[in-house]
Homo-oligomer: A and B are copies of this chain.
């Protein structure tokens, strides 16, 4: 039975300007920079936003129209949703999916009952994996929606909630092993505070670290070797979340000895909410050797909350893929997971296809542009030139550690201002931005 009233989305090229159900840039088996597009990009569909999200907002009930809405029994709907999901993956042409435990099946009154519901759905997913070849980029556990997590999960002030969270996560790791997840993600939506006046921030962070260590220990114990990932976000839902941005999360990982086993899952919209560009967050992780995977979405920088738009901004996808190219890939096992949802006014089933198509095409386009810029070395040459004074003379002495304040004073103390100014150079930033425009337009417009 067909849930989705569309054919398999074909590559159609760039002849028709109006977007439809076809890719303009994404050709999974096309080789770019030595790898197939599908292997650079490793696109994943997020279960929560694609199949569960009802398109509610704080002032509105859900508008989503979904082909499995007719099922009223929660388990019936959950099982039908699996059929719909795998048909969707196939028609869209992606290789990966991601899910929270709670995306798949309804909760029971106890965790035991909840796990039972969940296992039934996972059984069906495992069956589908055998025939479809679909892989799980990562799975995760929803430790934020239920009222029991109101003040945190691993950072809850209440030991029973810590215990429950651990128990819930245990089963989520077991499921990760069953479905062969390549990564395992933690997003701490409740791991933060509403007010510092009543919060013991340090104790809560110690608890979080303990929780992560226990999780890794248990994964090791059961032989689940997924790459563990933390996903930063500064605020929303809480006033302050501990995993604020890449740098803050790296500091936390280092402080608590987690940087050997954990890396980062970075999201574009979260970057913006923290006051950063997506490129900045990716570069920060790359420089620390801690880039794990990417949540592919975009924000509206004039909007102060998480909108998780499908990525369409070619400047941002180009910048992201440029950093990925320099890094040789997203991460050891990373991919681009569409943590993205349609606007509330895009409520028809096909909008899920349109959304993913603009997202996949925008990242495929970004890869093509980034590759061409990289091949032409337009920016790499510029940077090499810009820092070239450290290659010889006083610069080399600084680099090698031979220089100290006394030798540098001897070098500089009688240099006139004019000579110092002459040592600096314009970075011609306006020209650089123009060149990037040309690379985008020329690479994609042919």
Contact = CB atoms under 8 A, between A and B. Distances in A.
Contacts of A158: 389, 423-425
A314 to B, nearest CB: 6
Contacts of A66: none
Interface in A423-446: 423-446
Nearest to A21: B431
Contacts of A250: 251
Contact of A254 (B251, B304, B412): B251
A218 interface: yes
Given A351-B430, A409-B170, A413-B112, A194 B147 contact: no
Most buried by B among A14, A205, A218, A305: A305
A72 interface: no
Given A408-B170, A412-B166, A196 B283 contact: yes
A250 B252 CA distance: 10
Interface string A156-186: 1111111110111111010000000000000
Interface stretch (A38-46, A120-128, A130-138, A356-364): A356-364
A166 to B, nearest CB: 4
Interface string A13-50: 01001111000100000000000000000000000000
A214 interface: yes
Interface string A67-94: 0000000000000000000000000000
Interface string A136-154: 0000000011111111000
Contact of A163 (B148, B200, B344, B394): B394
B14 A438 contact: yes
A147 B408 contact: no
Contact of A361 (B110, B247, B434): B434
A contact residues, range: 35 or more
A133 to B, nearest CB: 27
A402 B425 CA distance: 57
A147 B61 contact: yes
A225 interface: no
Most buried by B among A277, A406, A409: A409
B277 A274 contact: no
A414 B254 contact: no
A239 to B, nearest CB: 7
A155 to B, nearest CB: 11
A305 B302 contact: no
Interface in A186-215: 189-190, 194-203, 205, 207, 210, 214-215
A11 interface: no
A5 interface: no
A419 B158 CA distance: 12
B157 A386 contact: yes
A99 interface: no
Contacts of A119: none
A19 B415 CA distance: 35
Interface stretch (A260-268, A328-336, A377-385): A377-385
Given A60-B145, A167-B413, A310 B159 contact: no
Contact of A305 (B277, B305, B441): B305
Interface in A296-337: 300-306, 310, 312-315, 319
A214 B404 contact: yes
Given A163-B411, A413-B112, A150 B344 contact: yes
A292 interface: no
A70 to B, nearest CB: 13
Nearest to A110: B414
Interface in A218-247: 218, 234-237, 239-240, 244-245, 247
Contacts of A434: 19, 312, 354, 357-358, 361-362
A287 B201 contact: yes
A279 interface: yes
Given A173-B405, A203-B390, 16 more contacts: A18-B438, A19-B431, A109-B416, A148-B423, A159-B389, A164-B412, A195-B427, A197-B429, A197-B433, A198-B427, A251-B254, A354-B428, A358-B437, A361-B437, A362-B434, A445-B445
